[in-house]
Amino acid sequence: MTTKPLRLGVNVDHVATVRNARGGPGPDPVRAALLAIDAGADGITAHLREDRRHINDADMARLKEAISKPLNFEMAATEQMLDIAVATAPHAVCLVPEKRTERTTEGGLDVVGQHDYLLPYVDQLTREGVRVSLFIEPSTEAIDAAVSIKAPVVELHTGAWCHAVEVGDIGRAEAEFARVAEAAAYGAALGLEIHAGHGLDYATARRVSALPQIVELNIGHFLIGEAIFVGLAEAIRRMREAMEQGRALAF
Ligand SMILES: CC(=O)[C@@H](O)[C@H](O)COP(=O)(O)O
Ligand SMILES: NCC(=O)COP(=O)(O)O
């Protein structure tokens, strides 16, 4: 099997989180996106939450206008978000689940239970020329449902695995990583493009990069946090290095 290139999408949400802490114009997520691209990002990801806790509508429009690399617009499947996405015309939309009270995206979309609800969103965005991905749990059921909905891409939620690594629960971490690995292989065999993201740091990005079916990682919170200590460009350089080290182990 020839290993495919692995792209890095840099998520700039949490630049906006810091900006919004003071309500002024900076730090500007668009400036961060431009710097990220200069530093080697293959694309920019931003999540326009329904509560606008970080990225806002103007950020999304400015990102589309300013960046030279693909914009991956993360959003809940709602009528309002669909209208904004169609008007923005990003390269890609990633449909994600959202709860107002959650601290971050806690799990994957309920693709099985919401199959008929999600279908017209995927259909309309696809007709608009937008590449649609579904942010899902690494499970065969979710993948089967994604295929049935005709989504061309899935992003496997790596949060449970990364959390288990973070708290040192090795048994749980290995079980969660096995779920990600199995889902990646299963989805790719069914013709889906496989992405992964949530909670990744250098070590977990290195490991997940060894899964040959994965072609894109979306990483935000860790990179923006690291930027405080080493600068965003250096954090992205180190992340790319980790991804390349992992990729070299792919078979
Ligand atoms: C869907 C997803 O994983 C990202 O959008 C990312 O987690 C950053 O946004 P939140 O931290 O607001 O979930
Ligand atoms: N879809 C995952 C993403 O965009 C970034 O997640 P995180 O690295 O901020 O947890």
Whether ligand 2 lies within 6 angstroms of the CB of 222 is answered as yes
Q: Kindly list the distances between the CA atom of residue 193 and the CA atoms of 57, 97, 216, in Å, as whole numbers in the listed order.
A: 28, 20, 9
pLDDT of residue 251: 67
Contacts of 113 (CB under 8 A, 6+ apart): none
Delimit the domains of the chain by residue range: 7-247
7-247 carries CATH number 3.30.9.10: no
Pocket lined around ligand 1, Cβ cut-off 6 Å: 11, 13, 47, 49, 74, 96, 104-105, 135, 197-198, 220
Whether ligand 2 lies within 6 angstroms of the CB of 72 is answered as no
Considering only the C-alpha atoms of the chain, give the largest distance between any 2 of them, rounded to a whole number of Å: 50
Contacts of 232 (CB under 8 A, 6+ apart): 32, 35, 36, 39, 223, 224
ipTM for the complex?
0.95
Question: Any idea which ligand is nearest the CA of 225?
Answer: 2
Contacts of 34 (CB under 8 A, 6+ apart): 66, 67
Contacts of 155 (CB under 8 A, 6+ apart): 94, 133, 134, 135, 136, 195, 196, 197, 216, 218
d(CA 138, CA 5): 21
Output the CA torsion 241→242→246→247 (10° steps): -40
Q: What is the DSSP code (8-state) at residue 5?
A: P
Tokens representing 187 are 């989805």
Question: Any idea which ligand is nearest the CA of 106?
Answer: 1
Output the residue whose Cα is nearest ligand 1's atom 3: 198
**Cβ–Cβ < 8 Å for 56, 75:** no
Whether ligand 2 lies within 6 angstroms of the CB of 204 is answered as no
**Chunked mean pLDDT (size 10), the chain, 251 residues:** 87 98 96 98 97 97 98 98 98 93 86 97 98 98 98 98 98 98 98 98 98 98 98 98 95 67
**Cβ–Cβ < 8 Å for 177, 161:** yes
Q: Kindly list the distances between the CA atom of residue 205 and the CA atoms of 1, 202, 239, in Å, as whole numbers in the listed order.
A: 21, 5, 8
